[in-house]
């Protein structure tokens, strides 16, 4: 198992946990909670795949994603209070998750011979639209439209990845650097209260 | 016309009526009401088909579904009060509908050589996501996440169907038994106020 | 560049501007605003393409759409007050946009050999679902379900287009007449306060 695949599963796990915790807070029932865990974890990649015509969508072909989401569900359910105390590690894994989802999304789109701007956009979509669907289904205005430089960090990391890929850097290294870029931007943005607000 | 196809159309009709009644309650205009009727009736199967790559999605290839939804729209419009009095029959048909949509969804996914857990999930998606889209479009938090053992009953029926299919039972019989399972679970859950609540 | 392609880009621009203005009003951040601009402009065609199996979806194959949406974003950002003063022209372009998106959507579906009712429905979906997604993502009940004869005008224009196409009228002329029909219906409906309300 490559480290990229391992991180992908880890990112999926963290996304699933974040979805399940949201659903538990909203007092959803068992199946509703599972559904929210799922759409949070695999929603972004699903939207990317159905838009570029990558059928059947990724997680339908690799049952590991289903097991990982189910694991995230069980962990959140039985160790809820412990997980909430791990907020800092969650932030770390979540950031690694969106960074990785962005680069993997871009890589998939490049292999479909799509143009650079399209690949960049679809990469960010892969990373953030799981959370968007989670928020829509739980009756919230999507968080990414309001707080933190979340999607913006993905954009930056995606641009770095595309540049490195253009210069034929080894893929593992490009991914690693892109993850670092996303992490640093997000870390400092939260630390210093950065925001890209348009008005006022 | 097979009895399964007949029940499928009947389920579609009931789903359309439930969507149209919701939209009328919300004072949507004519076209808005039609749209809600449509997405409620065919939304779940549509999401399944675009995810597994079954193109064009089912109802685009069989115009009967459009006629059935339109019929549901007209019935709801002209006989609104009568239909509301038929609530018990509606509950029956609706339950038959979700049960049937689950098994038909699983069957479609099995024919696409997808793994068992994927087929099960996609079966439930076929059955319940029409209602989810209806609720999102009408500004409600999806009902299935809050009330009744709705999706859970589909899961149970889906598992029964997959087991029976595994033992090569005749498809008609498997479908019938699965429908019964879903119906019994849902009937008793409403009757006795069952709920699969995670917290409190 | 054909006048139809030019109008298509113009319609996309106006849709993007309408999305961006909505997002600015809601105080979304930079990327959130861009996303709303995008989904408003290309959401309808995207849903049509993924449902009929036209992969990858249209705007992924023609980067001009991305540039146009980005242009709409920049225009809205730097000339917000000027654009708001252009409300009347915006109404004109927006109406041309939905009319054109309807006919282009129908044309695409006809080329996929789908039945007439399906093509009509998918044409209207192409025109109005970008706005529906915009409203869902910004936490509003979709406007088209509540105000103006918006989708209804698209239906009427679509029916006219299908009839003219059936009689083998030259496509440019059919499109032009359909646009006129949509425009007239919408113009008089706003002027005279028409509405297709179902109850009371």
Q: C8-37 pLDDT, tens per residue?
A: 898 899 899 988 988 888 888 887 888 899
CA separation, residue C164 to residues C11, C111, C157, C178, C188 (Å): 22, 16, 11, 9, 23
For residue C37, the surrounding DSSP H or E stretch is helix C30-52
| CB contact burial A70-93 (16+ within 10 A = b; e otherwise) | eebbebbbeebeebeeeeeebeeb
C147 secondary structure, DSSP code: S
Give the integer Cα–Cα distance in Å for C167 and A148: 56
- Cβ contact B164:B173 at 8 Å: yes
β-bridge mates for residue A29, sequence order: B197
What pLDDT digit, counting tens, does each position of B60-117 carry? 889 999 999 999 999 988 888 787 777 777 777 788 888 999 999 999 999 999 999 9
Q: Per-residue pLDDT for A51 more than 90? A: yes
Residues of C with CB under 8 A from a CB of B: 50-53, 55, 112, 114-115, 117-118, 121-122, 124, 132, 136, 140-142, 144-147, 149-152, 155, 195-199
For chain C, the domains span 3-189
What pLDDT digit, counting tens, does each position of C108-130 carry? 999 999 999 999 999 999 999 99
What pLDDT digit, counting tens, does each position of A143-180 carry? 777 665 778 889 999 999 999 999 999 988 999 999 99
- Cβ contact B157:B184 at 8 Å: no
Residues of B with CB under 8 A from a CB of A: 50-53, 55, 112, 114-115, 117-118, 121-122, 124, 132, 136, 140-142, 144-147, 149-152, 155, 195-200
- The mean pLDDT value of chain C amounts to 86
Q: Per-residue pLDDT for B134 more than 60? A: yes
> How many cross-chain Cβ pairs, A to B, lie less than 8 Å apart?
85
Average pLDDT over residues B184-198: 73
Which chain A residues contact residue B146 at CB under 8 A? Answer: 27-29, 32
Whether pTM exceeds 0.80: yes
Average pLDDT over residues A115-141: 90
The confidence score (pLDDT) of residue A199 equals: 45
| More confidently predicted of A137 and C198 | A137
Phi, psi of A197 (to 5 degrees): -90, 140
Dihedral angle, C-alpha B142, B147, B149, B155, nearest 10 °: 10
Contacts of B77 (CB under 8 A, 6+ apart): B20, B24, B33, C198
């Amino acid at each position: 198992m490559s480290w990229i695949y391992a991180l992908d599963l880890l990112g999926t796990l963290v996304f699933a946990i974040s979805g399940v915790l949201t659903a538990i807070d909203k007092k959803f029932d068992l199946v509703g909670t599972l559904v929210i865990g799922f759409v949070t974890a695999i929603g972004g990649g699903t939207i990317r795949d159905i838009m570029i015509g990558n059928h059947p969508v990724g997680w339908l072909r690799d049952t590991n994603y289903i097991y990982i989401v189910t694991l995230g569900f069980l962990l959140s359910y039985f160790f809820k209070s412990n997980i909430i105390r791990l907020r800092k590690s969650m932030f770390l894994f979540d950031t690694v998750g969106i960074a990785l989802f962005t680069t993997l999304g871009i890589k998939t789109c490049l292999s479909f011979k799509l143009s650079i701007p399209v690949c960049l956009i679809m990469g960010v979509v892969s990373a953030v639209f799981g959370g968007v669907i989670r928020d829509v289904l739980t009756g919230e205005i999507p968080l990414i439209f309001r707080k933190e430089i979340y999607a913006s960090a993905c954009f930056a990391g995606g641009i770095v990845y595309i540049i490195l890929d253009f210069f034929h850097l080894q893929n593992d290294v490009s991914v690693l650097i892109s993850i670092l870029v996303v992490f640093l931007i997000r870390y400092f943005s939260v630390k210093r209260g950065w925001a890209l607000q348009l008005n006022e």
